[in-house]
A and B are shown apart, each in its own frame.
Chain A
């Protein structure tokens, strides 16, 4: 945020930063052995395509990208959308390292096609204790945060999340500002 942005208004969305996504593959062993977080073999890239004008072109771009990602990695890749108008590229791969790599590939392909500013988050699912645990990567902040939805609608287990934060801080760049811990309820990750 420069002075010019303050004086004249920001004219562009902040771009995506993919650099720290790979921190997750390095941290995976610790997650599994020390915290008991087993990867569930599924992840997703959440972004918002522009609807204006070029929507058809964008659709074609994304479908082409899905083909590229699937061919390159052997992961299963498909597209979903949600009620907020966001697009989800859902990636299935039983090998966690491949899962992270494909997620990175999809993100960077989207970035290369001009969707960088529209990338919202990547989400990884883990089998935890009582509830499934999600780790969310914010592309704007280049940080991770835990998200544990409970069975009740639109409720998250803050105590569990904060506990995970304390333990994860050694392994991953965790978002320090709790007001940026975006929730992603009803993630369309399963078929």
Chain B
């Protein structure tokens, strides 16, 4: 499993390198028209470094990503004291997981679901839907929250944003117009490969977060029961604010598949593993925890 993941990650890095190479070649070529070869290369490198620096500054200090994700699903960050039990639960799990206590946000929805946003643990926000709180309590709710905290522990916000890059670029090109849209057709093969890698990574991170949740709560059976309760209905409403958010939900933000999306019924094209598969893996984890090295 880890080996497959390392290969997937390496491929994503390769895509980035290839894109960077194409960009550099493009700029060098365009500067070459007005100046010498050496000047063109230096100018390109200069702008490349400026762009990377800007990106780093934005990633460090700008929490617009988190805020826009919350806005996309209409979630509101809770003030202390609004949900004392949930807050205490999150605080204890965070202490166990050794991360700063994340903020909690609530969103009105008919779908029982939860996800975590935030590029880095200190900025993490755990979002739960009203329906999740209504349908789950005690150990079940704790298991779902622990799953989300496991995503935070594993820096999934950062890793998955990185992995989603090629797919997001493709979506950006498709939704633009003029010459940029034409570029999409050249980019299409990369878009397909990038999306497959994104879904593969996402499924793997779900399994890992399931395992992390069991370590935190010590109760694989609680997560199993929570998953079954959540999957019991087809949620209405749309919880996904773009692919990166869906990748962090406890269960996929379901929407009806259109006819041309038939292929997403195959596991290879899913961003979450099928529930039955997760339950089976949790059985294995339960057996493993049962024989901890004592």
Contact = CB atoms under 8 A, between A and B. Distances in A.
Interface of A: 5-14, 48-54, 57, 61, 84-86, 113-114, 117-118, 120-121, 138, 140-141, 153-155, 177, 179-180, 182-183, 185
A48 B218 contact: yes
Nearest to B84: A154
A50 B88 contact: no
Contact of B95 (A5, A52, A113, A120): A120
Q: What 9 A-B pairs come out closest when comparing CB atoms?
A: A53-B290, A9-B208, A50-B218, A114-B294, A179-B100, A140-B98, A9-B154, A52-B289, A182-B95
B291 A8 contact: no
27 contacts: A5-B154, A8-B2, A8-B6, A9-B211, A10-B153, A10-B154, A10-B212, A12-B215, A13-B97, A50-B218, A52-B221, A52-B286, A52-B290, A57-B294, A84-B88, A84-B89, A84-B92, A114-B292, A118-B96, A154-B81, A177-B100, A179-B101, A179-B122, A182-B91, A182-B101, A183-B88, A183-B91
Given A177-B100, A182-B101, 17 more contacts: A7-B9, A9-B150, A9-B154, A10-B154, A10-B212, A13-B216, A50-B218, A51-B219, A52-B219, A52-B221, A53-B289, A54-B289, A54-B294, A84-B88, A114-B293, A153-B84, A154-B88
Interface string B209-238: 101101111111100000000000000000
A140 B215 CA distance: 15
A185 B88 contact: yes
A169 B290 CA distance: 41
A36 B234 CA distance: 60
A50 B212 contact: no
B218 A7 contact: no
Contacts of B286: 52-53
A13 B97 CA distance: 7
B25 to A, nearest CB: 29
Contacts of B95: 120-121, 138, 140, 180, 182
A178 B218 CA distance: 27
Contact of B155 (A6, A120, A185): A6
Given A11-B211, A182-B91, A50 B96 contact: no
Q: A interface, by DSSP: helix, strand, loop or mixed?
A: loop
Given A52-B289, A54-B290, A54-B292, A120 B215 contact: no
B153 A50 contact: no
A8 B88 contact: no
Contacts of A177: 100
A48 B208 CA distance: 21
A120 B92 contact: yes
Nearest to B207: A9
A14 B100 contact: no
Contact of B139 (A14, A57, A85): A85
Nearest to A177: B100
B292 A50 contact: yes
B287 interface: yes
A61 B292 CA distance: 13
A84 B90 CA distance: 11
B15 interface: no
Contacts of B81: 154-155
A98 to B, nearest CB: 27
Interface string B137-177: 00100100000001001110011000000000000000000
Contacts of A86: 92
A57 B294 CA distance: 10
A51 B2 CA distance: 28
Nearest to A85: B139
A122 to B, nearest CB: 12
